[in-house]
Amino acid sequence: MKRLVLFLFTVCATCVAMAQSVTLLPAPRSYASADKGFTINYKTKISCDKGAIPAGEYLASKLGIGTAMDGDIHLAIDSRLGSEEYQLSIFSEGITIVGGDYGGVFNGVTTLLQLLPVEVYSSNLVLPCTVKGCVINDAPRYNHRGFMLDVCRTWMSKGDLMSFIDLLAYHKINSLRLHLTDDEAWRIEIKSHPELAKVGGYRGVGSPVWARYGKWNKKWGGYYTQDDIRDIVAYAAQRNIEIIPEIDLPDHSHCLARVHPEVLCDTDHNSSAALGYDTRSVVCATNEANYTLIEDILGEVCALFPSTYIHVGGDEVDMSEWKRCPDCSAFMRRTNMYTTEELRDYFMLRLSEILEKNGKLMAVWGDAVSGDNLPKTTHVYGWESVDSCREVAAAGYPTIVMPGDYFYFDMKQSEHEAGHDWAAIFDVQKVYNFSPSAVGFTESEAKSIIGLEASFFSELYASHNPESPAYLHYMTFPRLLAFAEVAWIGVDVRNWNSFHKRVCRYYDKLDAMGVYYRLDAPKIEYADGRLSASVSDGSTLFYRQEGSSKVMRYMAPIATESPSRYRFISRRGRAISPTAAVDEYFETITPRFDITSSMKDSWNFPFDKAENYGRIARTTRAADVDDWVMFSFETAVSCRKMKVATGNFQLPRYIFEAGDVYVSYDGEEFVKVGVLENGAYVIENPSQPIKAVRIVCTSRGNGAAWVSIQPPTIYPVIE
């Protein structure tokens, strides 16, 4: 207890000391100023212990200087320090970084970079420059500080991936799990089965894998060759990041099944609802040929990645196919299995054996675990909830904690922003406030935690201009800064206000890194006929008036009797805030309406669910050309904006992939007003009250067995 109190005191004192001089993220354990700093010039040289040479080369490239046997900046390894622990000393005579291992040295390098002018991140550092004198002693709380990146739903090129690795490395993230296979794509070359990547790496037109989430009218995608993988692994290793591959099995294997249909169970599958497209995604657990294929795949994966662990999924397994499969049923009878969960365990144990033959250990998602069904060497990634993380930790599995409602960065950051919301809507402050004890981990359960991991699943990235990293960055930063500090310092008592101030001061560095980060939403106030907006981060405020396309710079409070006519954003370089306005701006209306369609509604998602504005409705099949959906209002609706959409909330899936939108002002005559984009259309400023809207499909199928229909989102006229 005394050590813990001392540690908390040291961290708090460190933050106070830094607040007066420098901005470091994550905060180090201890920071002490020194009288004089060191001036780096073009004659400065870097020297390294043998085990630290890659870190020295990295630092030299950042500073634009060379290396020597006896340098002014020295990187050393001292095994008396702990894993990834480091000491950074800056005096007038030079700079020394001592690490307990290579990771410790590199951590010291990243701290040194944060002490330098921001231009060090954009390759524009001007020498000479002086670094403030200080002594920093630092070590991580968790050995695993990870990030999971989904490159399946949205393809990321090798160059874009390496750029993102740089951003992780700057903030002491030491593990990147690459989600390389899923229903939508196969992103890694397997030389013994080249068709997996050459065919399965692409979806859409000309591919057996149906387009999902975007890029509907083209063949789109890519994959990493084995040479690419070697380059990525080496690039990350220099930056103290271990790449952990994920090959998702036995479910999330739709892409695999589209390339190799023989991996599926031999069942009488009816694909008529999907207009002939086989939507199945789970491989047969008792087909011995599947294990031969998987052994080929995992054998090559194990050879490519130096990581001790290989992640093999095990999540969200649809076992209904196994129940209907005669081979699976016969196998279960023969081996005295009573549940398909036992069959899943059998499958996962077979994967564990394959990995062990290749000198690796297994990692899985939390829902693959049920009691003691898997070897206790298995690394388990808990994701469904805090309670699910606690369950696997209580069972004694080495646990990586990544609950969706804290660490899934594909979740919305506020109600009116893009993103999922199935886990939670949360911003950077909730991430920063996470601690195992605060969310209920007992002392015994906490002992099983080996680290934390954040993640970004990329379903929505595909429809948000994936040619730019803007959406990925916006969803990730500054939440990643909070995660990095939580995973690094690990203490339960943190000061949000202090952290937030450091983040705002850190924006200059994010700008230099080229990050399209999210700014705080402007604060809006309306009183006495005056509408005011403010920011606390030094960004520039802009506003737009409803009905106008002109964007104005905000300079002073606006005199108005209609505050809901105005919306505000702030900008700073590439960074942007979410839209802010008075609450009335976001209000919607819910007039009575009926849904009719050329397609029948499903019994469990009938049209009246959407008619009550609470849920989506579903049809009983996918749409064909000329199928239609119509929204008929009891009374013609006056509005400033109306969004009509097929597909799930927030997600362009189960949609009309293409369609025309027609509006009727009398319920009889219809006029075309536009075409669907990602399954939806927004009617802006209609000239008359709307009596009905009809969407007519102009494409065939959607890769699924139904169409989802959302209730319209209707914004009232602003007086």
Q: CATH number of the domain that 233 lies in? A: 3.20.20.80
Looking at every residue in the chain, the average pLDDT score rounds to 96
Flag whether 677 is in a domain. Answer: yes
pLDDT at 510 over 80: yes
pLDDT at 11 over 80: no
Q: What are phi and psi of 511, to 5 degrees?
A: -60, -45
Looking at the structure, do residues 628 and 574 belong to the same domain, yes or no? no
Flag whether 119 is in a domain. Answer: yes
Flag whether 327 is in a domain. Answer: no
Q: Between 476 and 5, whose confidence is greater?
A: 476
Give 129-163 pLDDT, tens digit per residue. 999 999 999 999 999 999 999 999 999 999 999 99
Ranges of beta strands (E only) in 457-583 are: 523-527, 530-534, 540-545, 551-553, 558-559, 566-572, 575-576
Looking at the structure, do residues 131 and 185 belong to the same domain, yes or no? no
Strand-pairing partners, residue 715, are 641
Of 88, 111, 138, the position where a domain reaches its end is 138
Give 490-505 pLDDT, tens digit per residue. 877 689 999 999 999 9
Task: Give residue 21's pLDDT.
Answer: 66
Are the CB atoms for 602 and 618 separated by under 8 Å?
yes
Residue percentage of the chain with pLDDT more than 70: 97
- Choose among 172, 204, 198: nearest CA to 186: 198
Task: Give residue 719's pLDDT.
Answer: 80
Give 336-368 pLDDT, tens digit per residue. 999 999 999 999 999 999 999 999 999 999 999
- Choose among 45, 68, 239: nearest CA to 127: 45
pLDDT at 5 over 50: no
Give 269-291 pLDDT, tens digit per residue. 889 999 999 999 999 999 999 99
Q: What are phi and psi of 237, to 5 degrees?
A: -60, -40
Task: Give residue 355's pLDDT.
Answer: 99
Task: Give residue 371's pLDDT.
Answer: 86
Of 450, 477, 512, the position where a domain reaches its end is 512
Task: Provide the pLDDT confidence category of residue 97 given band limits of 50, 70 and 90.
Answer: very high
pLDDT at 559 over 80: yes
Cα dihedral 638, 641, 647, 651 in deg (nearest 10): -150
Range of the domain at 650: 593-715
Q: Which residue has the tokens 């004198």?
A: 133
**Torsion sign, CA atoms 477, 483, 484, 486:** positive
> Domain containing 540 — which CATH number?
2.60.40.10
Looking at the structure, do residues 352 and 498 belong to the same domain, yes or no? yes
Flag whether 267 is in a domain. Answer: no
Lowest-confidence range among 9-18, 149-158, 615-624? Answer: 9-18
Lowest-confidence range among 94-98, 268-272, 650-654? Answer: 268-272
Task: Give residue 44's pLDDT.
Answer: 98
Task: Give residue 18's pLDDT.
Answer: 54
Looking at the structure, do residues 178 and 240 belong to the same domain, yes or no? yes
Looking at the structure, do residues 132 and 148 belong to the same domain, yes or no? no
Write out 367-404 in H/E/C secondary structure: HHCCCCCCCCCCEEEECCCHHHHHHHHHCCCCEEECCH
Looking at the structure, do residues 307 and 401 belong to the same domain, yes or no? yes
Q: Round to whole Å and give the CA distance between 652 and 446.
A: 39
Task: Give residue 6's pLDDT.
Answer: 42
Flag whether 265 is in a domain. Answer: no
- At 430, which helix (H) or strand (E)? helix 428-432
pLDDT at 20 over 60: no
> Domain containing 125 — which CATH number?
3.30.379.10
Task: Provide the pLDDT confidence category of residue 19 given band limits of 50, 70 and 90.
Answer: very low
Flag whether 450 is in a domain. Answer: yes
Start-to-end C-alpha separation, the chain: 62
Give 284-336 pLDDT, tens digit per residue. 999 999 999 999 999 999 999 999 999 999 999 999 999 999 999 999 999 99
Are the CB atoms for 158 and 234 separated by under 8 Å?
no
Give 118-130 pLDDT, tens digit per residue. 999 999 999 999 9
pLDDT at 398 over 50: yes
Rounded to an integer, the average pLDDT of 92-111 is: 99
Contacts of 113 (CB under 8 A, 6+ apart): 59, 62, 120, 121, 170
- Choose among 453, 388, 526: nearest CA to 173: 453
Looking at the structure, do residues 206 and 67 belong to the same domain, yes or no? no
pLDDT at 203 over 50: yes
Looking at the structure, do residues 212 and 343 belong to the same domain, yes or no? yes
Looking at the structure, do residues 648 and 601 belong to the same domain, yes or no? yes
Task: Provide the pLDDT confidence category of residue 547 given band limits of 50, 70 and 90.
Answer: confident
Flag whether 271 is in a domain. Answer: no
pTM greater than 0.85 = yes
Rounded to an integer, the average pLDDT of 569-583 is: 97
Looking at the structure, do residues 197 and 240 belong to the same domain, yes or no? yes
CA angle 119–514–23, rounded 5-degree value:
55
Flag whether 5 is in a domain. Answer: no
> Domain containing 624 — which CATH number?
2.60.120.260
Looking at the structure, do residues 406 and 479 belong to the same domain, yes or no? yes
Looking at the structure, do residues 173 and 296 belong to the same domain, yes or no? yes
Task: Give residue 494's pLDDT.
Answer: 84
Number of compact structural domains in the chain: 4
Of 482, 512, 542, the position where a domain reaches its end is 512
